[in-house]
């Protein structure tokens, strides 16, 4: 996930509320008897709602166009204003939405049916031309281009039929079309949408769209919008209930502090942390040497201890919560230092000079093993995970030197192949395709890896029609990836939706849409207020959103590295080097990070704060 940007977006979500290793509170005003001194990281803190309305944060200085917004907060708000062509449920299965049917005879020529009874907020009906236009715009945007880069052609055949032609066969392609639909020809900054809400004129509210098919089940008539300030102010706004919903990534370099007045809903992601190998370097050029490493990574320790249970350990390149994850196969590659040492010994790795560390045989003699292992220093947890791997390798005589690099240094090392192994992270697409990552000409192939059999194995999985065939081919793909070990999966991350206690119920958030199945939500911000507080508000004709409290940040102690000491002062943003169809796959094309919203292949594992992340 080579990522970077001002206030970028991870998966998608309102990470604007996160501040790097910081706990924040409201400054106490001695003249204000309602002022609170809050440390949100203390579980004893309990904060009542600041008002009786439901509010979301947004960035007024960033576009609200859902196809190219660079604000995580705006992406979240947009999920209520714009609808996806196809929705994904919590298991990542494609669900009908604006598109109500699809058909293909061969897996690369697809025909999609559009529900033309759906209307935009201006009353005009949705047509196939609008859907084709939206998908075409999406495949040229930074947010969605990586997932849609296999589209060769797209057109509206008639009023309700869209045809899409792909470069590769993919029977899971509908899963990639959870793309916002906008009206062709409408405003580029704030286009017409079809969602349950529409913006009022000054963008201070989301107002229920009466023409929506679920208008009778809309939880609230009005949702208030609060302009985000800096990260400190946003955290304070949530802590004091000025805004009522945030998304937290507990595996990122920034995480939101919260108290006991919160309800936390976890949701799965396709964000995979892994080890990547340079297949052109000595030692790591041998598949057997890389394969031995499968058994030298204590995934359970990293997921449960380093990341505090906010991830699931995985030995296969597919999420453990997915039905295709074969637990029997997965057990074949679990942590086992004895097995790792056995494979190394069988390949001629031994302590030939009796210095306590191993060497390996080359045609010209014995060579020392000293692996150059790089990790981005901006995420202390990933550094801890990498150190654990170094220690476990050392326990069986394998020397790996850990290089903790600033973001720019790390990015350049990966792009130019100046490493033996690196600790990385990638957001897989919803079809779990590895073609871009592991095929010879893949735009995310940072490993200098070339194997036509890998492409054929992955394509066979994507070409599977029935569930039984797909399971068999997925197993074959996962085993081939594990045995060749160009990458070694470590874990898949989880993220969180935070709301104040007793305010919201019925949430079923997904990685791509926090408001999935929104018609079944129940929202009552008054539940968080005492009777006295409610009485105080009764004189108001219309509930007003309270001003953001002021806040000062206090750094939260953490293990090394000290992020503040790093020359890269903005690790939250994210860029992906040369990962879209429009960019070159040659390393020389991307010596420096650029403003891309597609963090799908971040070797650094860096996490963005405000920018929508898509895969």
Q: What is the pLDDT of residues 186-201, one digit of tens each?
A: 888 889 999 999 999 9
- Cα radius of gyration (the chain): 25
Residue 279 pLDDT exceeds 50: yes
557 compared with 383, residue with greater pLDDT:
383
What is the distance between the alpha carbons of residues 256 and 249, in angstroms, rounded to a whole number?
A: 8
Output the six-digit token pair for 249: 């990534």
**Domains defined for the chain, CATH in brackets:** 15-80+198-267+495-556 (3.40.190), 86-176 (3.90.76.10), 270-494 (3.10.105.10)
Q: What percent of the chain has pLDDT over 90?
A: 65
Task: Give the other-Cβ count within 10 Å of 46's Cβ.
Answer: 10
pLDDT, mean over the chain:
81
Nearest-5° angle of CA 181, CA 178, CA 436? Answer: 125
For residue 174, give every residue at least 6 positions away whose Cβ sits within 8 Å of its Cβ, in sequence order, or none: 86, 94, 99, 102, 110, 112
User: Tokens 């040229």 — which residue?
Assistant: 140
- State mean pLDDT over 342-364: 92
Residues 187 and 265: their CA atoms lie apart, in Å, by: 35
pLDDT tens digit string along 496-535?
999 988 889 999 999 999 999 999 999 987 755 445 544 5
The three-class DSSP label of residue 281 is coil
Residue 119: predicted pLDDT: 98
- CA torsion through residues 322, 325, 327, 331, sign: negative
pLDDT tens digits, 103-114: 999 999 999 999
pLDDT value of residue 14: 30
Helix (H) or strand (E) holding 194: none
What is the reported pLDDT for 259?
56
Which backbone phi and psi does 110 adopt, to 5 degrees? -120, 145
For residue 110, the cross-strand partners are 104, 164
Residue 305: DSSP 8-state: I
């Amino acid at each position: 996930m080579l990522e970077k940007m001002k206030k970028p977006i991870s998966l998608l979500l309102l990470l604007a509320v996160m501040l790097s290793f910081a706990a924040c509170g409201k400054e106490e005003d001695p003249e204000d008897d309602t002022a609170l001194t809050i440390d949100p990281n203390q579980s004893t803190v309990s904060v009542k709602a600041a008002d009786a309305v439901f509010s979301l944060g947004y960035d007024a200085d960033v576009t609200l166009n859902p196809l190219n917004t660079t604000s995580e907060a705006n992406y979240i708000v947009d999920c209520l204003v714009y609808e996806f062509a196809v929705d994904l449920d919590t298991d990542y299965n494609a669900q009908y939405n604006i598109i109500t049917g699809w058909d293909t005879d061969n897996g690369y020529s697809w025909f999609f049916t559009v529900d033309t009874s759906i209307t935009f907020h201006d009353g005009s009906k949705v047509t196939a031309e609008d859907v084709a236009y939206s998908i075409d715009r999406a495949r040229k945007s930074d947010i969605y281009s990586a997932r849609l880069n296999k589209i060769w052609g797209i057109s509206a055949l008639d009023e309700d039929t869209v045809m899409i032609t792909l470069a590769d066969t993919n029977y899971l392609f509908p899963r990639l079309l959870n793309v916002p639909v906008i009206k062709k020809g409408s405003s580029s900054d704030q286009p017409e949408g079809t969602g349950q809400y529409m913006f009022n004129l000054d963008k201070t509210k989301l107002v229920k769209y009466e023409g929506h098919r679920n208008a009778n089940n809309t939880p609230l008539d009005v949702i208030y919008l609060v302009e985000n300030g800096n990260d400190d102010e946003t955290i304070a706004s949530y802590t004091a209930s000025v805004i009522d919903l945030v998304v937290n990534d507990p595996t990122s370099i920034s995480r939101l502090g919260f108290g006991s007045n919160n309800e936390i809903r976890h949701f799965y992601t396709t964000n995979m942390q892994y080890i990547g190998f340079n297949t052109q370097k000595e030692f790591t050029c041998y598949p057997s040497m890389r394969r031995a490493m499968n058994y030298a990574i204590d995934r359970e320790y990293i997921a449960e201890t380093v990341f505090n249970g906010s991830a699931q350990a995985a030995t296969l390149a597919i999420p453990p919560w997915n039905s295709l994850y074969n637990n029997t196969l997965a057990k074949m590659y679990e942590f086992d230092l004895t097995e790792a040492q056995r494979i190394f010994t069988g390949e001629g790795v031994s302590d030939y000079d009796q210095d306590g560390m191993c060497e390996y045989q080359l045609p010209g003699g014995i060579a020392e093993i000293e692996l150059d292992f790089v990790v981005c220093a901006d995420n202390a947890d990933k550094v801890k995970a990498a150190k654990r791997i170094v220690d476990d390798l050392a326990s069986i005589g394998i020397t790996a030197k850990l290089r903790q690099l600033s973001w720019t240094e790390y990015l350049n090392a990966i792009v130019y192949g100046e490493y033996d192994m690196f600790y990385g992270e990638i957001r897989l697409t919803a079809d779990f395709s590895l073609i871009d990552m592991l095929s010879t000409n893949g735009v995310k192939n940072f490993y200098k890896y070339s194997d036509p059999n890998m492409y054929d194995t992955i394509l066979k999985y994507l070409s599977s029609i029935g569930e039984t065939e797909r399971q068999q081919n997925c197993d074959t793909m996962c085993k081939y990836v594990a045995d060749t070990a160009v990458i070694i999966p470590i874990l898949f991350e989880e993220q969180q939706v935070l709301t104040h206690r007793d305010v919201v119920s019925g949430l079923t958030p997904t990685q791509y849409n926090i408001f999935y199945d929104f018609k079944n939500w129940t929202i009552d911000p008054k539940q968080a207020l005492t009777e006295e507080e409610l009485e105080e508000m009764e004189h108001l004709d219309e509930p007003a959103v309270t001003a953001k409290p002021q806040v000062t940040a206090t750094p939260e102690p953490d293990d090394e590295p000290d992020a503040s000491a790093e020359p890269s002062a903005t690790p939250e943003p994210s860029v992906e080097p040369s990962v879209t169809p429009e960019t070159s796959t040659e390393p020389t094309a991307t010596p420096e990070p650029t403003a891309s919203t597609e963090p799908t292949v971040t070797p650094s594992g860096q996490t963005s704060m405000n920018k929508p992340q898509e895969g």
